[in-house]
């Protein structure tokens, strides 16, 4: 592209009038002749016009921009939100016409927008960027697929998220990644596979990530790795290993003042205690978390309430369970971000209300399909046991037999899903 056409393209892209661009540099008529390739301006005039348009061509300036992009990427891995916002505003204030810089920026912008819940913008940007992957450097493509995986995770498409992270993995052998980049990739790879219930792979990469984070003293990320390992070991029924990682995560989080992770760790510990039959310990932790809630519309609050309801029901404290459930039920019914919890809320709402005929219909219509899609087989098994016990008490032996048998099938499916073994 010639300088004249480049000036006109950038000016129109920035929606700038010729009067505004030329002011103090040249006359409007002179600028018009430049844009129409009627005359060849001096190097000084071109430099002044392009600088006003935010165009960067100088090699030193390009190196500086690339350095800032590298810093911006690091803020995502270190969770430095303040610095991330500052660099975002810097980039937004410039119009970088260098195609490589533009692609690097747009790929990193995916991660930034996801952190700020701009899902619709990311969806649109991904469509555009997918067509430009051939123009990306190998490292930019590596991050494009990695950040795409985060997008599909955010929208609940875990199979697609895993496909994207495997695409990203293909580039590692060809790249010179820093320790933090490599550690963060291992953690992301583990996290995405854990969401898709590939716990064997998730454990392997979480351990690799933990080793790298320990080597560079990123203790916050070490906490995250211990939590992820605890979750994976719990799913694989290695409860002692799971508790070991949760206890380490909790101790470290308290020590380094990683306060926002203390409630999730305690919630995971409570779930582990519940599964292991330590009901009083589980109930104590869930009540502690519940009593600290002030906003019952968030996803974390909805999970805590649901866990406490389950423990109350196990203890036969149905009135307390019903009162607790009411705190979140109407929000879960309306908020799309709480969709993954809706089936369980419907079950307990109908169970605690004694609406068993409607519960039968909702099990077939909503609850079983939704929880099967989420691979929540143990939850379904416990629901079947509730209904089996109810119909035994009502002498509905045919119905009770159906639910007890169905519950056993879900136990088998859980074992097959997590251990890869036929039962």
pLDDT tens for 359-368 read 999 999 999 9
Q: What is the pLDDT of residue 236?
A: 87
CATH topology of domain 3-52: 434 Repressor (Amino-terminal Domain) (1.10.260)
CATH architecture of 58-176: Alpha Horseshoe (1.25)
Q: What is the 3-state secondary structure (H, E, C) of 86-101?
A: HHHHHHHCCCCCCHHH
Return d(Cα 358, Cα 353) in angstroms, integer: 10
Q: What is the pLDDT of residue 96?
A: 64
Q: What is the pLDDT of residue 173?
A: 92
Q: What is the pLDDT of residue 59?
A: 56
pTM for the full predicted model: 0.76
The parts of the chain modelled with pLDDT lower than 50 are 421, 423
Q: If you write DSSP's letter for every residue of 117-162 in order, what string do you get?
A: T-HHHHHHHHHHHHTTGGGS-HHHHHHHHHHHHHHHHHTT-HHHHH
**CB half-sphere exposure, 114, CA atoms < 13 A:** 20
**Model confidence pLDDT, tens digit, residues 175-221:** 999 999 999 999 999 999 998 878 999 999 999 999 999 999 999 99
Q: What is the pLDDT of residue 156?
A: 81
The full set of domain ranges for the chain reads 3-52, 58-176, 279-367, 375-423
Could you tell me how far CA 17 lies from the centroid of its own chain? 42
- Does 58-176 match 3-52 at the fold level? no
Q: What is the pLDDT of residue 336?
A: 86
In the structure encoding, which two tokens stand for residue 104, read together? 């690097």
């Amino acid at each position: 592209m010639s300088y004249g056409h480049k000036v006109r393209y950038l000016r129109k892209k920035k929606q700038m009038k010729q009067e505004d661009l030329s002011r103090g540099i040249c006359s409007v008529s002179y600028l018009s002749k430049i844009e129409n390739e009627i005359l060849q301006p001096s190097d000084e005039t071109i430099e002044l016009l392009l600088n006003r348009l935010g165009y960067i061509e100088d090699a030193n300036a390009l190196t500086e921009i690339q350095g800032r992009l590298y810093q911006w990427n690091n803020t995502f891995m270190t969770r430095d939100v303040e610095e991330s916002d500052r660099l975002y505003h810097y980039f937004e204030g410039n119009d970088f016409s260098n195609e490589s810089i533009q692609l690097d920026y747009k790929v990193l912008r995916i991660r930034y927008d996801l952190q700020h819940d701009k899902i619709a913008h990311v969806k649109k940007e991904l469509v555009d960027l997918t067509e430009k992957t051939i123009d990306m450097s190998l490292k930019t493509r590596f991050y494009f697929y990695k950040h795409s995986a985060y997008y599909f995770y955010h929208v609940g498409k875990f199979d697609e998220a895993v496909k994207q992270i495997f695409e990203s993995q293909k580039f590692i052998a060809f790249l010179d990644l820093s320790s933090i980049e490599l550690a963060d990739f291992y953690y992301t790879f583990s996290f995405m596979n854990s969401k898709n219930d590939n716990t064997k792979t998730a454990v392997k990469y979480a351990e690799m990530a933990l080793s790298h984070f320990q080597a560079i003293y990123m203790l916050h990320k070490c906490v995250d790795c211990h939590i992820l390992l605890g979750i994976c070991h719990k799913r694989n029924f290695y409860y002692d290993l799971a508790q070991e990682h949760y206890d380490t995560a909790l101790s470290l989080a308290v020590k380094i003042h990683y306060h926002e992770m203390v409630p999730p760790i305690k919630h995971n510990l409570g779930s582990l205690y519940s599964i292991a039959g330590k009901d009083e310990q589980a109930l104590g932790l869930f009540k502690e978390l519940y009593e600290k809630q002030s906003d019952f519309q968030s996803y974390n609050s909805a999970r805590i309430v649901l866990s406490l309801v389950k423990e109350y029901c196990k203890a036969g404290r149905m009135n307390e369970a019903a009162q607790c459930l009411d705190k979140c039920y109407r929000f879960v019914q309306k908020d799309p971000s709480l969709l993954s919890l809706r089936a369980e809320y419907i079950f307990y709402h109908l169970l605690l209300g004694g609406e068993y005929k409607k519960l039968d219909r909702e099990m077939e219509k909503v609850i079983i399909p939704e929880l099967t899609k989420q691979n929540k087989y143990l939850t379904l098994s416990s629901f079947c046991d509730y209904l089996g016990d109810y119909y035994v008490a009502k002498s509905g032996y045919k119905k009770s037999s159906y639910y007890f048998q169905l519950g056993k099938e879900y136990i088998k499916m859980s074992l097959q899903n997590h251990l890869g073994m036929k039962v």
